[in-house]
Structure 1
Amino acid sequence: MAAYTGTRGCDDVPALSDSDEEQWQSMEEGSEHITVPCLLCDRTLASVSETVQHCKADHGVDIPALVQKHRLDDYGYIKMINYIRNTKFSAESLLLTSNGPLPWDSDEYLKPALADDPLLQIDVEELSEVTAVTLSPAADDQVSLLLQRATQAEDRAQRAEEALARAMDDLHKLKLLAQGLVLNTDTSRGPSRSGAIAELREDEDEAYFSSYGHYSIHEEMLKDKVRTESYRDFMYRNMDIFKGKVVLDVGCGTGILSMFAAKAGARKVIAVDQSEIIYQAMDIVRSNKLEDTITLIKGRIEEIGLPVEKVDIIISEWMGYFLLFESMLDSVLYARDRYLAEDGLVYPDRCNISLAAVGDTQKHSDRIAFWDAVYDFKMTCMKKAVIPEPVVEMLKPETVISEPVVIRTIDCGSVTVSELEFTEDFSLKITASTFCTVMFSTAPDCTKTHWKQTVFLLESPIPVKTGEELPGQITVHKNRKDPRALLITLDIAGRKQTYSLQ
C-alpha cells in the first residue's frame, strides 16, 4: 500500500452526484457489518482489531509480535494467515515455531484459504495499529509510549547481555594480567610467570579434576607404600620443621598429607583441591577430629583466596608420569610465589628426571615389529601411530643396558615455570653389548610405585657394545593444545622421534 500527495486542490475535485452519495453510503454501511473468523477457534469477531485482540487474550498468540519475531513482509504475513487457516495450526505449535525455515514459506500459501478474508486486507505496517482503534486518543498515546519503552528496554537488555559477555572475557584477561603483576613484584624469588595452567578457565580444566573425583585413583596412590610412607616418614621424622607452622597442601585429595602435617605438629593446615574428592576429605578430617587444625577449600589454587596472607610450608604430591606429566608442579609454583613466606619451604624440595637405555628385543618385537606381518598382512603404517605414544609400565631391571643419567634436576624452591620446558644433551654409558630398543625414565630396580616407568619405544633397535657412549639430546615442552600433556623429542644416534605423553 502507498499514499500519494499531489498539487491538485480541493476545489478541483468534482462533486458527488446524489446517486454516487447513495452508493458510497451503502458501501460504508456494508463495511460496518464485517465479520472475521478467528484463526484458532470457531468464534467470529466483528473486526480485525477484535480478532487480533481475541487471539492474544484467549489463545496467547500475539499476531503483530509473530510478524515482528519472524520479520515477515506483506507476502510472509499473507502466507502465515493462509497456512494457519488451511492446516488448523494450533496456538501451541505457532508459539513454538523457530526462526529457522518457516512452515508457511511455500508460495502455495499465497492463495487465500478464506474468500475475502479481512485479515488479508491489512498490511503488516498497519497490523500493530489496529489493536488500538477502540482506545481513546489519550490511551492510544499511552499504549504507544509503553510499547516504545518496552522495545527500547528490550534493546538495552540485549546490549547489556552482549556487554556483560565482553566484560566477563575482559575480566578473565585482567585476572591473568593481575596474577602476572603480583608474581613479577615478588623480586625476592626472581622472575616467574603463571604459565599455561593458570591461564586455563575452570571449564577448560574440568576433565583433569574430574579424573581425580573418583575414589579409585586415590586408592591406588594410598596403597603405593613408597609414595605414601615416604611423605609420612619425612614429616614424622622432622617434626621440628612442622611444629607451630602454617602448612599449605596443594591438591590435597583425601587429605592424607594434611593429616600427616597436623600430626607432625603444624599449627594450621590449609588443604586445597578442585576435585569432588574434597567433600570426602572433609568427612575424613572430621572423623579423625582434626577439623580444628585442618581447613579445606574447594577450588583451583590459582583462583581462590586463602584465609592467611602467607604460609610457612607447602607440601604437595604433584609428581606425574615422567615427573612432569599433568603439569601440577605449575600450580605448586604459583602457590609458592603467591603465598610462601620469605623463609618458607617447599616439599618435596628436589627432584630428578633420569634416562637410561633398555635392551629388550622381545618387547620391541611385541610392540613394533609385530606390525610388519599381521596374519600375513603388512601393517607397517600402524607403527606411526604406536611409536609416538610412550608406554607407562614396569620394566624388568635386567633389561637395563646403560648407567642412568640425570637429564634434569628441579629445585622446587627456586625453579620457574618456564624452566620446566627444556632441552638437554646426554650421554649413556652402555653396560652390555646388545641392541638398544627402548629409552625410559624412573629407575626400575627400586620398589615398584604407581608412577612405574615411562618407556619411549625406538622404531629400529640400535646396536651397542659394552663401554660405548651413546650420545643424544632430549627436549621437553608442554603441548600447546593441552598444557597438562607433554611433547618429548629424543634425538639419538641420528634418529629423531617426538612422543606425546597425554
Structure 2
Amino acid sequence: MSASIQQPQGRPVADEVLSDTDSTASDHLDLTNDEEWQDVEPDVESQPMVGLFSADVYPDVRSMLKASKEKYNFDLRKVIKELDLDFLGSIKLVNYIRSEVKAGNTKPDVSSRTLFEDDIYMKPVLEDDALLYSLEDLDDEPENAVEGKQSETDKERNAEKRVLELQEELERLRGQFSDYRLAVQRSMNERLLEDEGPSSSSTSEREVGKAADRIQEADSDYFTSYAYNAIHESMLKDAVRTDSYRDFIYENKHLFKDKVVLDVGCGTGILSMFCAKAGAKMVIAVDNSNIIEKARQIIYDNGFGDVIKCLRGKIEEVVLPVPQVDIIVSEWMGYCLLFEAMFDSVIWARDRYLAPDGLMVPSHATLRIAPLADPDFIASHISFWHDVYGFNMSSMLEGIHDEVLVRTTNPSTVAADSAVFLDLPLHTITTEELTFVKDFQVTLKEDIDALDGWVIWFDIFFMRSCTSKLPENAIPVQLKKEGFVAFTTGPDGPETHWQQGVLLINRGEKEPVPLKKGQVIKGKVGYRKKEEKSRLLDIEIQWDAEGAEKGDQKWSLQ
C-alpha cells in the first residue's frame, strides 16, 4: 500500500541477533524441527470449505459443490451461469444464500438476481469464507470430475485455456475489485458513523461495547479487502513503489546478509523474497488476510521455503519464532500516508521486536501540502451538476466537498511550491504523534482566479542506518542523485497507485477571491482518526492568505 547524501556509512546492524541466548536461538532457528514449515508445502485444491446449507466442512470446493447438488439439489455453477453473474454478483449470491440459511430458510429463492442486488450482500456472512476466494476458479472446475482423477490432457487443456484468458480476467477483476473495495469501505463508514444516541452513565458500558463491535467488524472488512488479487496486482505494478524497495534491498545486501527480517503485512511476499534473495538468514512474513495462503505457495514455488516463514494473524497477536529481529520491512503507506492506520501496527512491531540498533525499511517519510487552482477540474466535477442536459442536478453536490478525493493532479494546477508539514522518523515516532495539528506556509508562484482546494502527498526515504538523519526539506529526486533510494507520490513525480489527496474548498454561496503571485498563505493541518482505533481519517485545514482569503474546513478519507 505504499509510496524512498552520500552519508557516512552507518554502523552495521548487529550480527548477534539473540546476544547471549545462542542456545535458545539455535532451538528457534532449527528449521528441521519446526513443524510449521510444512505450511509451505503445496496444497492444491484442499482448502477447507463450509457447506452452503449446513455447518459441514468439506476438504475442497469440489466436494462442497457436489454435496450441495446431491443433498440439497442446488447447483451453484448452474445458478451463476443462468443468472449471468459476474464476480461481484457471485459474491452477493453466496452471501445471500448463507444469510437465508442462517435465518432458517434452506430453500432460498434464486430465481432472479434482483433478490440479492443490495450491497448488504457484499459483507461476508462467514468470516474468512473460503468459498468467496474460490469463486473466480469455479469455471475451471470440471463438473463431472472425480476427486484426484483429472487427466493430464484435461490439466493441459485447462492450463492453456487459463493462459489465453488470463489477461482478460485480470483486467476484469481489477475493475470488479475496485467496486468491491469501495462497497466494503462504504459499509465500514456507515457502521462507524452510525448514530448511537446520547450517552449516559447508565449505558456507557453498552455504548463502549457497541463501538468496539463496530471497530472489529470494520477491521475484518479491511483485511478481507486485501484477500483479492486485484489490489496486489495494482501495488506490484506500481514500479515506483516496488522498484524502490527492491533497489534498496539489493543495493545494500550487506545490511541483510545473515540477518533476521520481519515483513509486516507481507501480502504476496514480494518484499520477503527480496530480503531472502539479498541473503537474509530468516524472514518472518506476517499478514492477517487470506493472501497469506497464496504467499506461502508463491514462496515455496520460488525456492525460499527454507528461509521465509509465513504467519497468519495480526502482528500484535501472532507469536514470532525469535525474540527480536534485525530489520523490519513493511509497505504500510495509505492514501495521504496515514489512511488505513497500518503504521500503528508497524510501530507496535518496532517497539516489541526490533533490536536496539535495528533498521526500519523505509526509514523516513514526510507529508507535504500545496494549494490547488484548477478551474477545469471544478467545472467538470462541481459546476457540471448545475446543468446536465438542461436539467438542474445540484442535489448531487450534497457532501461532495466533505470527502478527500484520490486523484492524479496536473503539476500546472499546483499554485505554490509544497511545504512539509510533518516529518516521520520511523525509528522513533510514536502512535500518539500520528494525531496532530501542524503549521505550514506556502507562497503563490503565480496569479490565480481562485484557491480551489489543497493537495496532500507524501515522500518516502530509505536510509542505511537507524542513526541516519534526513536533511531538512529533503527532496527525493535530489537524494537519488546522491545515491540514496527515495520516491515521491507528488504531482511532479511518476504516477503511483496512491496518487494525491485532493481536498476541494466548499464556498457555499461565497464567491472566491483572486490571489496574486507572491502572496503568502499560512495555515494548519490536522490529522485525526474518525474514532479511536478506526482506520478512517479526518483531515482539517485552516488557512489565511494575508486576510484576503480565509477558511477552515474538515474532510474525511474513507
Q: For the superposition of Structure 1 and Structure 2, which TM-score range results when normalised by the shorter chain?
A: 0.5 to 0.7
2:416 is matched with which residue? 402
Highest Rg: 1 or 2? Answer: 1
Describe the shift of the 1:308–1:455 C-alpha distance in structure 2 as closer, same or farther (beyond 3 A). Answer: same
Q: Which residue of 2 aligns with 1:242?
A: 256
3-state SS in 2 of match to 1:386: coil
The residue aligned with 1:490 is 541
In the alignment, is residue 313 of structure 1 matched against residue 321 of structure 2? no
Counterparts of 1:199 and 1:255 in 2: how far apart (Å)?
31
| Contact map agreement 1:212 1:277 (CA 8 A) in 2 | yes
Q: 1:24 — aligned with what?
A: none
Note the alpha carbon deviations across 1:293-352, whole angstroms, 9 max, x for none.
100000000111101000010000000100111000000000001111111111111001
Does the aligned pair in 1 maintain the 2:215–2:534 contact within 8 Å?
Answer: no
Counterpart mapping for 1:77-226 below 5 A: 203-226=217-240
**2:493 counterpart residue number:** 446
> Unmatched 5+ residue regions in structure 2?
1-103, 105-210, 458-489, 545-549
One-letter code of the match for 2:451?
C
SS at match of 1:450: coil
**Cα distance between partner residues in 2 of 1:337 and 1:198:** 25
The one of 349, 361, 377 aligned to 1:347: 361
Q: Is the 8 A contact 1:255 1:271 kept in 2?
A: yes
- Matched-pair contact (CA < 8 Å) for 1:255–1:281: yes
Q: In the TM superposition, what is the alpha-carbon distance from 1:365 to its structure 2 partner?
A: 1.8
Q: State the 1:481 CA deviation.
A: 6.7
Residue 427, structure 1, aligned to residue 441, structure 2: yes
What is the CA distance between 1:358 and its match in structure 2? 1.7
Asked if the contact 2:215/2:533 (under 8 Å) is kept, the reply is no
TM-score, normalization by structure 1 = 0.59
Q: Assess, with a 3 A threshold, how the Cα gap between structure 1 residues 462 and 486 changes in structure 2: closer, same or farther.
A: farther
Letter in 2 for 1:496: D
The total of aligned residue pairs comes to 307
How big is the shift at 1:228? 0.2
Does 1:417 pair with 2:431? yes
Q: What do the CA deviations read for 1:43-83 (whole angstroms, capped 9, x no partner)?
A: xxxxxxxxxxxxxxxxxxxxxxxxxxxxxxxxxxxxxxxxx
Structure 1 residue 381 displacement after superposition: 5.3
CA distance in 1, matches of 2:271, 2:213: 27
Q: 1:467 to 1:353 in 2, by over 3 A?
A: same
Percent identity over paired residues: 45
CA contact (8 A) 1:198 1:302 kept: no
What residue in structure 1 maps to residue 296 of structure 2? 282
Contact 2:235–2:242 (CA under 8 A) maintained in structure 1: yes
Larger relative contact order (C-alpha < 8 A, sep ≥ 6)? 2
**Alpha-carbon spacing, 1:470–1:204, altered in 2? closer, same or farther (3 Å):** closer
RMSD of the TM alignment (CA)?
2.1
Gaps of 5+ in 1: 1-95, 97-196
Change (3 A) 1:352 1:200: farther
- How far did 1:390 drift? 1.0
Q: Secondary structure at the match of 1:253?
A: coil
Deviations 1:457-488 (A, max 9, x none): 11244522111111121111101076101000
Q: Which amino acid aligns with 2:554?
A: T
Q: 2:531 aligns with which of 470, 480, 488?
A: 480
Instruction: Report if the CA contact (8 A) 1:246-1:313 is conserved.
Output: yes
Q: CA deviation at 1:438?
A: 2.2
Residues 1:377 and 1:481: Cα distance change in structure 2 (over 3 Å): farther
**CA shift for structure 1 position 204:** 4.7
User: What displacement does 1:384 show?
Assistant: 4.1
Whether the 8 Å CA contact 2:261–2:282 is kept in 1: the answer is yes
Give the secondary-structure state (helix, strand or coil) at the position aligned to 2:343.
helix
Q: Which residue pairs with 1:77 in the alignment?
A: none
TM-score (norm 2): 0.53
Contact kept? 1:368, 1:387, Cα under 8 Å: no
Change (3 A) 1:201 1:390: closer
Deviation at 1:236, TM superposition (A): 0.4
Which of residues 371, 374, 383 is equivalent to 1:369?
A: 383
Cα distance, 1:315–1:388 mapped onto 2, change above 3 Å: same
Task: Encode CA deviations 1:413-456: one digit per residue, 9 max, x unaligned.
Answer: 00000100110111111011012212111210111100101100
Aligned to 1:329: 343
Residue 501 of structure 1 corresponds to 557
Question: 3-state DSSP class of the match of 1:332?
Answer: helix
Deviations 1:108-149 (A, max 9, x none): xxxxxxxxxxxxxxxxxxxxxxxxxxxxxxxxxxxxxxxxxx
